């Protein structure tokens, strides 16, 4: 894994355009990770999981807190059964 900041991107844009490893882009002043760059091959492997999580994040307001908690519990059980 590689940790860079915006200055590093300006110096070597290939960190973002052709990543060879997971790259964390951090805020240069606060040293807090702001973005993550994945090599495309890795993205292809985790793409479905990322899309599922984004769907849940975007639609969690559609369920009440209790219903959302029950859904997440059932989801974990169903994933365990599939494995």
Residue 21 main-chain phi, psi, to 5 deg? -150, 170
- Mean pLDDT score across all residues of the chain: 87
User: Are residues 16 and 32 both part of a single domain?
Assistant: yes
Task: Name the residue among 40, 75, 44 with its Cα closest to residue 60.
Answer: 75
Supply the range of the domain harboring residue 7: 2-37
User: Are residues 28 and 61 both part of a single domain?
Assistant: no
Instruction: Give the Cβ contact number of residue 23 at 10 Å.
Output: 19
Q: What is the pLDDT of residues 10-25, one digit of tens each?
A: 999 999 999 999 999 9
Task: Name the residue among 48, 55, 50, 57 with its Cα closest to residue 36.
Answer: 50
User: Are residues 49 and 28 both part of a single domain?
Assistant: no
User: Are residues 46 and 33 both part of a single domain?
Assistant: no
User: Are residues 49 and 22 both part of a single domain?
Assistant: no
Name the pLDDT band for 83 (thresholds 50, 70, 90). Answer: low
Contact 80, 72 (CB under 8 A): no
Name the pLDDT band for 67 (thresholds 50, 70, 90). Answer: confident
Does this model's pTM top 0.85? My answer is no
User: Are residues 46 and 74 both part of a single domain?
Assistant: yes
Mean pLDDT of 37-49: 92
User: Are residues 19 and 7 both part of a single domain?
Assistant: yes
What is the rounded CA–CA span in Å between residue 25 and residue 12? 13
Into how many domains does the chain fold? 2
């Amino acid at each position: 894994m590689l940790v860079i900041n915006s200055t590093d991107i300006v110096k070597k844009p290939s960190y973002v355009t052709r990543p060879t490893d997971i790259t964390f882009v951090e805020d240069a002043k606060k040293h807090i990770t702001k973005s993550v760059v994945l090599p495309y091959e890795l993205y292809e492997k985790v793409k479905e999981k990322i899309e599922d999580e984004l769907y849940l994040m975007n639609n969690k307001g559609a369920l009440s807190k209790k219903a959302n908690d029950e859904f997440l519990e059932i989801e974990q059980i169903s994933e365990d059964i599939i494995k």
